Amino acid sequence: MSKKRYYLKSPDGLETDLQVLSGTIGPDVIDIARLYQDQGVLTYDPGFLSTGSCESDITFIDGEKGVLMYRGYPVEQLAKNSSFIEVSYLLLHGELPTTQELEKFDANIRLHTMLNEGMLSFFKGFRYDAHPMAILSAVVGSMSAYYHEEMDASNPEHRDIFAHRILAKLPTVAAAAYKLNSGQPFIYPRNDLNYCENLLHMLFAVPAEPYQIDPIAAEALDLLFILHADHEQNCSTSTVRMAGSSGANPYSAIAAGISALWGPAHGGANEAVLEMLEEIGDVSQISKYVEKAKDKNDPFRLMGFGHRVYKSFDPRATIIREMCYKVLKKMNRKDTPLFDLAQELEQVALKDDYFKERNLYPNVDFYSGIIYRALGIPPSMFTVMFALGRSVGWTAHWREMIINPKGKIARPRQLYKGPVARDYVLINDR
């Protein structure tokens, strides 16, 4: 608790002493818990842009300086030196694992990848062209019907089992959704493959011929999952916390997060970037579309630039950009012109005063869709891939919320603008 104090005095002379809470780093937070009790007023903060909704030890963001840290470790260092499984352990347990701890954790994930056979019948009930995110949300929500023996949130062992199941089974569900769309048979997971290798195997292997996993493709997915693993109190993470605060089973809380992520302003942004680049079509058209983006009366918007939190640059974008080079060179894909277009658009925007004044720098979504496309992953699966990476962040936040003794059910208030009290009029008198 900080020694600072804020004092709020009402026109009627009511005064409230507002305590200031300090984290280890980042801005102080004014505790307004007593404000309504003392003065009968609420705060108003649409979108919660100036509201700290909880305490957390997981992720720190400094949007002004372009800093992102998981448990105190800069994301750049983790992306360079770690793996997604190791980062998952870090997010869930707070510390980097020893060799033995990592081996045990990795083994637990590998051994939980199969789905209950009864769940596979669910996929036959979906239309062949059902969106993979709809399938993912529905199937994850149904897991509580299959794994209800270990859903006691107060039991540490049950919380661990749940975390292992979510991490392990989500790729299997995602791959099954892809296979449904493709009209191909489901492919079972393999315990001898690592996390991303197994996902590629389930996505692209077919019974008719052997499938060779490209190590660059696995490396690219691993990097993308690390960079998407958590991002503080974003829309989907806050949704998981809010759903979980009611005591709802953890699978339903994660399913709620998946549904929130599906929105085009959140997880669907990388798909929107690809659509934008295809609309621009050629480097010669960039200036035209940049001017369209500046025109308030034109519906066109440059997707993949700017971020709600980052006011300088998104530290994840630079890392992904380098991986994009690596993937396209290795895959020798025809998508290279699209990447060239993206690079040129980035340079034009960075030199334009309009974008510089508004801090519209490339974000994590700008290049990720190009990588997914180069790997053969269709746009309908882009948000699903986001969900696979973010699943560990959701789980870590759910665990943190559940064990917090000061936790309360989420219950925001509102500024009511509707009619005042009025009497009911019988239908014949209206």
Residue with tokens 């009402």: 10
Q: Greater confidence, 330 or 117?
A: 117
What gap in Å lies between CA 6 and CA 19, rounded to an integer? 7
Q: What is the pLDDT of residue 361?
A: 81
- Which tokens in the block code for residue 271? 């798909």
Which of 266, 314, 335, 397 is the catalytic position?
A: 266
Write the DSSP assignment of 183-222 as a string of letters.
Answer: T-------TTS-HHHHHHHHHH-BTTB--PPPHHHHHHHH
Q: Active site includes 164? A: no
Q: Which tens digit of pLDDT belongs to each residue from 24-33?
A: 999 999 999 8
What gap in Å lies between CA 229 and CA 88, rounded to an integer? 8
- Does the pLDDT at position 223 exceed 60? yes
- Does the pLDDT at position 142 exceed 90? yes
Residue with tokens 């665990």: 399
Q: What is the pLDDT of residue 347?
A: 86
Considering the four listed CATH numbers 1.10.580.10, 3.40.640.10, 3.40.50.300, 3.10.50.40, the one that applies to the domain covering 74-263 is: 1.10.580.10
> What average pLDDT does the segment 213-232 reach?
96
Q: What is the pLDDT of residue 265?
A: 79
Considering only 108-117, 140-149, 354-363, which range has the smallest mean pLDDT? Answer: 354-363
Q: With the C-alpha atoms ordered 238, 239, 243, 249, is the resulting torsion angle positive or negative?
A: negative
Q: What is the pLDDT of residue 351?
A: 86
Considering only 53-67, 142-156, 265-279, 392-406, which range has the smallest mean pLDDT? Answer: 265-279
User: Number of C-alpha atoms within 13 angstroms, CB side, residue 171?
Assistant: 29
Share the mean pLDDT of the chain: 92
How many Cβ atoms are within 10 Å of 229's Cβ, its own excluded? 25
**Residue among 354, 387, 178, 383 at smallest CA distance from 273:** 383
Instruction: List, by residue range, all CATH 1.10.230.10 domains of the chain.
Output: 269-374
- Which tokens in the block code for residue 268? 């669907």
Q: What is the pLDDT of residue 335?
A: 55
Q: Which tens digit of pLDDT belongs to each residue from 67-98?
A: 999 999 999 999 999 999 999 999 999 999 99
Q: What is the pLDDT of residue 407?
A: 87
- Does the pLDDT at position 336 exceed 80? no
In this prediction, residue 292 has a pLDDT band, given cuts at 50, 70 and 90, of very high
How many Cβ atoms are within 10 Å of 40's Cβ, its own excluded? 10
Considering the four listed CATH numbers 2.40.160.10, 1.20.970.10, 2.20.28.60, 2.60.40.1120, the one that applies to the domain covering 5-68 is: 2.20.28.60
Q: What is the pLDDT of residue 247?
A: 93
**pTM value?**
0.91
Q: Active site includes 266? A: yes
Q: What is the pLDDT of residue 1?
A: 54
- Which tokens in the block code for residue 316? 């994840």
Asked whether 368 and 320 are in contact (CB, 8 A), the reply is yes
Q: What is the pLDDT of residue 328?
A: 85
Q: Active site includes 365? A: yes
Q: What is the pLDDT of residue 168?
A: 97
Please state which CATH number belongs to domain 269-374.
Answer: 1.10.230.10
| Percentage with pLDDT > 70 across the chain | 99
Q: What is the pLDDT of residue 334?
A: 58
Residues 6 or more apart whose CB falls under 8 angstroms from that of 200 comprise 213, 214, 217, 218, 221
Instruction: List, by residue range, all CATH 2.20.28.60 domains of the chain.
Output: 5-68
Which of 106, 222, 335, 365 is the catalytic position?
A: 365
What gap in Å lies between CA 111 and CA 253, rounded to an integer? 23
Residues 6 or more apart whose CB falls under 8 angstroms from that of 141 comprise 251, 252, 255
How many Cβ atoms are within 10 Å of 49's Cβ, its own excluded? 8
- Does the pLDDT at position 263 exceed 90? no
Considering only 51-55, 114-118, 366-370, 420-424, which range has the smallest mean pLDDT? Answer: 366-370
Q: What is the pLDDT of residue 337?
A: 76
Q: What is the pLDDT of residue 333?
A: 60
Which of 307, 314, 335, 397 is the catalytic position?
A: 307
CA dihedral 190, 192, 198, 200 (to 10 degrees): -100
Q: What is the DSSP letter of 305?
A: B
- Does the pLDDT at position 289 exceed 70? yes
Instruction: List, by residue range, all CATH 1.10.580.10 domains of the chain.
Output: 74-263
- Does the pLDDT at position 4 exceed 90? no
Considering only 39-53, 95-109, 221-235, which range has the smallest mean pLDDT? Answer: 39-53
Edge-to-edge strands of the sheet including 5-9?
Answer: 5-9, 15-21, 29-30
- Does the pLDDT at position 311 exceed 90? no
Q: What is the pLDDT of residue 33?
A: 86
